[in-house]
Amino acid sequence: MVTNAPEEFMLEAIAEAKKAKSSGDLPFGAVVVHYGKIIGRGRDETHTKGDVTDHAEMIALREACRKLKSNNLEECIIYCTNEPCLMCAAAIFQANIPKVVIGLSRSDLPDLLRNREINIYHLAKDSNHQIEIVKDVLKDKILPLFRDLEKK
């Protein structure tokens, strides 16, 4: 698997998060990378589209699956500006993605996001395949996107 510096692709996920925020959605972004090439991009669209499943990760995963014509993304890495929720984490695991790169954890935004008893780290331990989770990538560039947001 070709790997570029995680920061390069996290910057792309951050760009998606900025687009989401400028559209009135929460600043969440994600990209799926296959052999050094972005094959899926997503940003939060839950408010603008009125669909609770339109999370950045879900949109990026759908696009990646369409491009590869497969639901098996075992040769891919997903870069997420924020720790994926349980729905997104489950989809990532179903797609067999072996590596998840995360900017912010839920605990970085306690005034905006509720803590969960179960999170991506619990699911990774319970998964039937090995998953590497890298966290805190470009955290300092993502945190400012949330400074003016209130808990919803």
- The domains of the chain, with CATH numbers, are 6-146 (3.40.140.10)
Q: b/e per residue, 39-74, with b = 16+ CB within 10 A?
A: bbbbbbbbeeeeeeebbbbbbbbbbbbeebeeeebe
**Using 50, 70 and 90 to split pLDDT, how confident is the model at 40?**
very high
- pLDDT at residue 24 greater than cutoff 60: yes
Q: Does the active-site annotation cover 57?
A: yes
> CA-based angle 35:26:98, to the nearest 5?
25
b/e 114-147 (16+ beta carbons within 10 angstroms → b):
eeeeebbeebbeebeeebeeebebbeeebeebbe
State the Cα–Cα distance between residues 81 and 142, nearest whole angstrom: 7
The overall pTM is greater than 0.85: yes
C-alpha–C-alpha distance, residues 45 and 133, integer Å: 25
Summarize pLDDT for 58-117 with one digit per residue, the tens. Answer: 999 999 999 999 999 999 999 999 999 989 999 999 999 999 999 999 888 877 777 666
- Out of 16, 45, 57, 83, the active site residue is 57
**142 contacts 104 by C-beta, under 8 angstroms:** yes
For residue 93, give every residue at least 6 positions away whose Cβ sits within 8 Å of its Cβ, in sequence order, or none. 123, 124, 127, 129, 131
